[in-house]
Amino acid sequence: MINTHDRILTPEHLLEDHTQLWKIVEQCRKTLPEGSVRRGLLANLLQTLLERLLDHFWQEENDGYFVDLIDQSPHLKNSIEELLQQHPTMVKQIIDLQNHVARATNQEDAWSVINQKFTGFLLLFQKHEAEETRLLQLAFGDDIGGND
């Protein structure tokens, strides 16, 4: 598992983490159409994504970045708390995807369900990241990412 818990989470680190997460998400998206023949690769990508998400969320929740954000802009507290509540949902979505990939046969309907589940994750992830960036911009007046 990737461990960056010993570093201070700065806007630059957050941008770097978002960039890496998006790269993995994009690799998963590109691999999905070939999932039945590249199941091992997709399983590995989903595991990497899960590890990255867990680390990223841990940093946001425990390294004080959002505490600093709330200190900077207390009026954003409820919005930030809503974002943090989405973390477990996204983790569960990836674990659910992993389970489906592990059990999937080569039948088209199995992969259709996996594609639908990935699309559901992707929509929440996009919304989450865009809202996170918006809140950071409101609090610090700085555009830290281009993936929104």
pLDDT of residue 44: 95
pLDDT at residue 92 in the model: 98
Span of 24-28, 57-61, 81-85, 120-124 with lowest mean pLDDT: 57-61
Residues 71-86, mean pLDDT to the nearest whole number: 89
Helices and strands per DSSP (H, E), number in the chain = 5, 0
For residues 100 and 64, which has the higher predicted lDDT (pLDDT)? 100
Do residues 99 and 110 make contact, with C-beta atoms less than 8 angstroms apart? no
Instruction: For residue range 136-145, list pLDDT tens digits in order.
Output: 888 777 545 5
Q: Are the CB atoms for 15 and 56 separated by under 8 Å?
A: no
Cβ atoms of 23 and 76 within 8 Å: the answer is no
